[in-house]
Structure 1
Amino acid sequence: MKIKNQAMLITYSDSLGKNLKDLKKVLEGPLKDVVGGIHILPFFPSSGDRGFAPMDYTKVDPAFGDWSDIEALSKDYYLMFDFMINHISAKSPYFLDFLEKKDESAYADLFIRYKNFWPNGEPTQEDVDLIYKRKPRAPYRIATFADGSEEKVWCTFDEQQIDLDVTTETTRRFIQENLEQLAEHGASIIRLDAFAYANKKIGTNCFFVEPDIWEMLHFPRQLLAPKDVEILPEIHEHYTIQQKIAEQDYYVYDFALPMLVLHALYSGHVNRLVHWMEICPRKQFTTLDTHDGIGVVDVKDLLTDEETEETREALYAQGANVKKIYSTEAYNNLDIYQINCTYYSALGNNDQAYLLARVLQCFAPGIPQIYYVGLLAGENDIELLESSKEGRNINRHYYDLEEIEQEVQRPVVQSLFKLLKFRNTSPAFDGEFSVKMLDETSMEIFWNNQDAGVSARLTANLKEKSFEIVEIEEGKMTIIEL
């Protein structure tokens, strides 16, 4: 199925009910017509990081279901799957075979061995300092082979996530085979996780290494284009990177929007948000929340450093049940540039402020993605956070079917559903976009589809947290009540 200009749900296979069959029930019941697409977070057998250390892309984790469950969803929704282009599980058959057979393994070339990569088998301190890394040391783990020997292999993230050498024929074949079979199972778009880390080159920071990274982007596109499957590189960094990729006609993420909307709602000032909407890519997926924290690095130079700090401090002051420690090493947080909090709790569990945030997202350029906790206006799950000591679990509540039935009755959730149904069905959003600042605290967004004779206008006052949505069809104005 081709991508539709309709809201996309982001969810794990076992977050709305226990498995994929439960998820289908929820989508056909309480969530009927609310979303047009689903990003099903990694559903493969995995050895860590909630699915992001995949062992085998040819299988669905039996705890969630099987391929028939995925394919059943693909008949009614456009689907996004994940492909971890940077790494594979330490418990994958590929890495285990490498540990068993070492140089004789058919998969030896899948991995980056320090002894082959660095001129003297080790990076210099200067090399290490240069690398854009997620650890306070060189990115490696020790591989212990069956013969008792040991060597270092590149490992950017968790010990369970072994980096792939994307330059070798073995890895290219691995990427091709897996992407093609994911396309066969109903993917409309494949998200390339941790994409900017994939290329490593001595003398660089090993992050979004140009020009190599462009070839790395074109390779999967060429494979998937004949199958009508798109790709979406996942990168948290300076907004200009997303603009560069968008210029090549790829889909990108709008990871700047979450902090910019918070800044506008906390401060009451619309200037930064309006500026971003004027210059942001149009072919994009917008987010306010994902399975990770709220990104801070993405608004560098869109907010001043002072405004970013003020927004961060306001989140801790005005947010509900959120503390700075939840985004630190004490809660296993690798990324100092992300804040662990649900978006609803970031806005103090305030229904009106939260609804306005979602209205702004739905009117922004791009296709809105809404994380399952956000779809149910979920609060911070302190119980899960404390029991797991995993910071990101604050925003990873498990909903059972009964709880979902209760949550969807809340007025804020009902209003959000009305908003998403309007966003999914109004032809206005297939038209031309424009935005303007009315005064320091107010803005107007206008979508005009001349061909269909339909337009939609949002007028919002960020200080008062008030807004009005109007749809105009053949001169007749209708106020959209949420």
Structure 2
Amino acid sequence: MFKNQIREKVTLLYGQEQAGQICESILTLVEKWQGKTPAYQPWVDQTSSYLITYGDSISQQGQAPLATLKTFADKHLKGVLSNIHILPMFPYTSDDGFSVVDYRAVDSDLGDWSDLNALAENFDLMYDCVINHISQSSDWFQGYLTGEEAYQDYFIVSDPALDHSSVTRPRAFPVLTPFQKADGETVHIWTTFSPDQIDINFKSPKVLLESIDILLMYAANGGRSIRLDAIGFIWKVLGSSCIHLPQTHEIIKLWRIILDHTAKGCLLITETNVPHQENISYFGNADEAHMVYQFPLPPLTLHAFLSQDSRVLTKWAEGLTLEAAANLQAASKTTYFNFLASHDGIGVRPTEGILKDSDRSMMCREVERKGGRVNYKNNSDGSQSPYELNINYLSALTEPADSTQQKAAKFLAAQSLLLSFIGVPAVYYHSLLGSENDIQGMQESGINRRINREKLDLSVLETELMEEGSLRNIICTELTRLLRIRSSQAAFSPQSKQQVLNLSCGLFALIRGEDEDTVTYVMNLTEQPQQASLLYSGYDLVSGRKLNSEFTLEAYQFVWLKHH
């Protein structure tokens, strides 16, 4: 069965003639890694949650940053968050880690594989597989330029005179970059994201085999989850959009077959910052990604808070619930990877077909007013449109003049939505720690995304977290408390049902679970008190109070109402 599944996918991708040899090579890799993967839990539940962080987000002089991360996580996060997503921890040359020099090595500035194994003692880990592109300084690309035979089909050469206008452009860079080979020949190489991020040619079976070996290595070294970065772009056909092509989906399905067989419990998570229907196509028929990033959630939540109006968010969530009932609940091994903030900005494209242009323009104005930046993408007609909002999520939600208590209330209200929504929640380290815009870091680097990537000193951070009444203290204390409550309630399992309630434009509400394991979530996303009217009374898990079926929520207050 397993061999037949592999054969089918390989034949679809590379043809009958090459299939036999490729399948033999894949089975050799499977044998190499068989039995070397830790005993991962078979699936996720209400206790599953992720911290998103760089390997050196928190540092301490004289200690490897990955060891410092373990020190912090063991003290503050054990029993609170089950998984830690370490953003690319490999040697790199640009894009804060996303131009990888060597997929199989840990950046020596962070530590080594032993540090990751130590971190994995108390947490499941998630690794990035940045397999669409590799640094131009990598051995692979340098070998290509110097004429090494092994790498001559690893990259994509194209003629700049051909029409590339239909190619999806996520950033404002040319699709091709000229390079000179050692023999003097000038070649134009496909570079979707930047001149330092050289796209890899998956039409080469050797590249496919490299990717399988890398994925299995990650799974064997503590990578319970593997994030497939920018995965929608891995197959190119000139004249097409070069995103979400059928071959891309078939490759992910092949990886899934291999991982399910060789590294049971290892999860594939696709990162595709695109409109919603395109994004969820990576569920396949429950045979592709285990989880997909819930990209509309960050911008739609921000829009609801900025407009003080939940109607768009509620309507979208209603549609999502129907979709979940039809597609996800029947498949016990697929769900959403929910987040509000991340190392990247807040994607705008996922709101296409959901928000009006005027709504997006409002959000852009608000972000810029609050010190953030707006990144634009090039369109095929020569125009530009907003692609990403670069701002710290807390700073985006709040006003600079707000009091500490007001900032905390607004931000925790948004985080409560993240923790309540169907799927698995992922909390960015700056969200957990109550950080705000790092304007200095953005300006000094000239990189807009650095506004939300500030590196923190452990001793300074610990002092700030201990300061009673500080923003860091309030948010970290309360958010960890909410995460503990959440993990105790079966209603918040990704497999639990979700029903969206349409109460009023100032409230957002969900019912999670059924029968005795039912929790109703109601959140006031406005600065004015709001009346809530339900069909039942209950016990509020957040405040510890009993509530009647009708109650008032103060500004940015929320409840988790456990039904009597």
TM-score using structure 2 length:
0.76
Q: 1:421 — aligned with what? A: 484
1:338 correspondence with 2:388 = yes
Judge conservation of contact 2:509–2:522 (CA < 8 Å) in 1.
yes
Residue among 45, 50, 54 paired with 1:8: 50
- The corresponding residue for 2:118 is 72
SS in 2 for 1:131: coil
Pairwise CA RMSD of aligned residues? 2.4
Letter in 1 for 2:57: S
Q: Distance in 2 between matches of 1:468 and 1:63?
A: 53
Give the direction of change, closer, same or farther, for the CA distance of 1:89–1:137 in structure 2 (3 Å limit).
closer
Give 1:313 shift: 2.5
Query: Which residue in the other structure is 2:508 paired with?
Result: 443
Is 1:107 the counterpart of 2:144? The answer is no
List aligned pairs for 1:198-237, cutoff 5 A: 198-209=234-245, 211-226=246-261, 227-228=263-264, 229-237=266-274
Task: Give, as a single letter, the amino acid of the residue that structure 2 aligns with 1:434.
Answer: Q
In structure 2, relative to structure 1, the CA distance for the partners of 1:385 and 1:416 (3 Å cut) is: same
Question: 2: CA distance between counterparts of 1:170 and 1:32?
Answer: 41
Q: Equivalent residue for 1:117? A: none
Separation in structure 1 between the aligned mates of residue 463 and residue 135 of structure 2, nearest angstrom: 38
The one-letter code sitting in structure 2 at the alignment partner of 1:238 is P
- In the TM superposition, what is the alpha-carbon distance from 1:314 to its structure 2 partner? 3.3
CA contact (8 A) 1:265 1:463 kept: yes
Q: CA deviation at 1:323?
A: 4.1
C-alpha displacement of 1:61: 0.9
**Matched ranges for 1:262-411 at <5 A:** 262-280=302-320, 281=324, 283-317=335-369, 319=370, 322-324=371-373, 327=375, 336-348=386-398, 350-409=407-466, 410-411=473-474
| Contact 1:39–1:80 (8 Å) recurs in 2 | yes
Offset, 1:147 = 2.1
For 1:44-63, list aligned pairs within 5 A. 44-63=90-109
Deviations 1:266-296 (A, max 9, x none): 2222121112222335611111111111111
Q: 1:351: Cα distance to partner?
A: 1.5
Corresponding residue for residue 239 of structure 1: 276
CA-CA distance at 1:308 after TM superposition: 2.2
1:362 partner SS: helix
1:66-124 deviation line (CA, Å, top 9, x unaligned): 111112222322221111121111111111111112xx52011111122xxxxxx3443
* Structure 2 residue corresponding to 1:166, chosen from 175, 197, 202: 202
Q: CA deviation at 1:327?
A: 4.1
Q: How big is each residue's C-alpha offset from its partner over 1:210-246, in whole Å with a ceiling of 9 and x where there is no partner?
A: x222212212112211212221121111111123223
TM-score w.r.t. length of structure 1? 0.89
Do the aligned partners of 1:4 and 1:37 also contact (CA within 8 Å) in 2?
A: no
Identity across aligned pairs (percent)?
Answer: 30
* Counterpart position of 2:301: 261
Structure 2 Cα separation of the partners of residues 468 and 377 of structure 1: 29
Contact 1:246 1:252 in 2 (8 A): yes
Q: How many angstroms does 1:328 deviate by?
A: 6.8
Deviation of 1:406 after TM superposition, in Å, equals 3.0
Contact 2:78 2:122 in 1 (8 A): no
Task: Identify if the C-alpha distance between structure 1 residues 412 and 136 changes in structure 2 by more than 3 Å, giving closer, same or farther.
Answer: closer
Q: Distance in 1 between matches of 2:414 and 2:89?
A: 30
Q: In structure 1, what is the Cα distance between the partners aligned to 2:433 and 2:306?
A: 22
Query: Matches of 1:50 and 1:441 in 2, distance apart?
Result: 39
Gaps of 5+ in 1: 115-120, 470-474
Say how many residue pairs are matched: 456
**Pairing 1:477–2:539 present:** yes
Mapped to 1, the partners of 2:284 and 2:144 lie a distance apart of 40
SS in 2 for 1:177: helix
Assess if the C-alpha contact under 8 Å between 2:173 and 2:194 holds in 1: no
- Give, in whole Å, the separation in 2 of the partners of 1:284 and 1:327: 26
| Cα deviation, residue 443, structure 1 | 3.0
- Tell me: CA distance 1:355–1:371, structure 2 relative to 1, closer, same or farther (3 Å): same
| Secondary structure of residue in 1 paired with 2:304 | helix
- SS of structure 2 residue aligned to 1:188: strand
Instruction: Give distance in 1, aligned partners of 2:206 and 2:71.
Output: 41
Q: Secondary structure at the match of 1:448?
A: strand
Deviation at 1:316, TM superposition (A): 3.6
Distance 2:498 2:74 in 1: 32
| Corresponding residue of 1:463 | 526
Aligned equivalents of 2:285, 2:131: Cα separation in 1: 20
Computing the radius of gyration from Cα coordinates, the structure with the larger value is 2
The 1-side partners of 2:459 and 2:529 are apart by 33
State how far apart, in whole Å, the 2-side matches of 1:279 and 1:11 are: 31
Query: For residue 92 of structure 1, what is the aligned residue in structure 2?
Result: 138
How far, CA to CA, are the matches of 1:275 and 1:140 in structure 2?
41
Structure 1 residue aligned with 2:186: 150
How big is the shift at 1:403?
A: 2.5
- Residue 194 of structure 1: how far off its partner (Å): 1.0
Rounded Cα–Cα distance in structure 2 between residues aligned with 1:301 and 1:130: 21
